[in-house]
Structure 1
Amino acid sequence: MKFVRFGDPGKELPGLIDAEGKIRDLSGVLPELNGAALAPSSLARLRGLDPRSLPVVPAGTRLGAPLAGIGKIVCIGLNYADHAREASLPIPEEPIVFMKAQTAICGPNDAIVLPPGSEKTDWELELVIAIGTTARRVAVGEALSHVAGYMTGLDLSERYWQLERGGQWTKGKSFDTFAPIGPWLATADELASPGELAMRLAVNGERMQDSHSANMIFSPAQIVSYVSGLMTLQPGDLIFTGTPAGVGMGMQPPRYLRAGDRIDAAIAGLGEQQHAVVAD
């Protein structure tokens, strides 16, 4: 299944995408798409629905983030060797973990808002994992059984605040609109393998990132297992799994986002995001 949330900001309703690509309104049978909705029993009930029995949402309706009530946003840094090299940093021997604020979440076509005075806001395309059942110290072989689904995500990063102002990376990662997700959340059964997905991102039509989730250093299963050993993962938590090479910081000279830029990003099977970059 592919779940969406549609409507004006703060008033989104739950929906799903049917076999013809139409958005169907789920609000009559599901109050919200949140962690509780991702429970196995809830997903089994929703799979029993006939999408044709649900109202069609008008074409062009805004899509919000496909998951509400998000708990933790855990992120993995330098999870692609080519990205570590372009950042002139050592390839990690175990996952680098940091956090993003939940208030950074926005929809797949919402504007990316540059923080006041931003000079070094950068793009990072990432596969995002949505947790469906509680995971605490789970083995690698069991890890993906706790995953409800996957999304396209961007980990926007203000490099000045991330790297030059001291403290942890969270400072440069948590500005409003710095974590767009969607357009849809695909349940785990929709993907043959989360480790075999083509990834691409363009800025103003110029391809910047062109990679594959198979190039991860640590696989989704390894990541879920590792993070669950550090903290209990709960339904509705997200894990951003790292970005491949092609970010602005790695260019010579570095290139960063400016008001008026446009971002187009997609992961195979998980849909495309399109963003205008605007000044605060």
Structure 2
Amino acid sequence: MPLIGSGALVAEAAAKQGAVAAFNIITLEHIEAVVEGAERAKSPVILQVSENAVAFRGGRLLPLARAAVAAAEAASVPVALHLDHVKRDELLRQAADAGFGSVMYDAAHLPYEENLAATRAAADWAHTQGLWIEAELGEVGGKDGKAPLDPHAPGARTEPQEARAFVAESGVDALAVAVGSSHAMTSRTAALDHELIARLRAALTVPLVLHGSSGVPDDELTRAVTGGIAKVNIGTALNIALTGAVRAHLAAHESVVDPRKYLAVGRTAMAETVARMIGVLGAG
């Protein structure tokens, strides 16, 4: 079916007090696994391409984007395409022509006023292109090999009244909030600040987004969605499933050299993770 906008999926999920799952993709196998898992769960899904994934592909956005569009159009469930954690305006401006319906503009590493100014400019441009735009306030740590932020470090938590002002002045359509999760966690030990999620939900009129969700236990994710999170980003969980399955297959079949043999096993493992995570979020 045709691509659908992330904003429409998030709004529909929020209206049902649920959340839409957004999975970060790196390879064609990621794309196929996410679509397969969503079809198993009979659920809409968001395919996300991050700026880091584009860098891995030599700075070329179109090969992965076109594969994602083709997979989405062949899917039996609604699929959206989202450009994630964009810091470079040059990449941002490629989004609409590459088939993306939404972007996450990431200036959260900047001081508040600089973050606001950069995000306002990005939102103004994005809206002229019909793009739904997400931003981040408070810094969800753990990206680019950096350690997670200390819970008491400046920016480690999103302050509700500051978030309300930021959304109003920036014009963004959704806000990623820092509430205790961290990017790139390989253990599921993160504890979320549910009282803060409730305060943020009460303070804001735009959907809340949770980044770094791979490190959050199932019960914490379910509670976060009940508390008001409407979009949940998942990336590392897929990579753990892929890598674990490939390692196990190669260990058991040392003579294998055809990558299709082990990539197929990895793709299946990722699809199973996608279907399970969608079930945890109640998005199916």
TM-score range, shorter chain: under 0.3
Work out which structure has the larger RCO, using CA pairs closer than 8 Å and 6 or more positions apart in sequence.
1
Q: Which has the higher helix share?
A: 2
Q: TM-score, normalised by structure 1?
A: 0.26
**Greater strand content:** 1
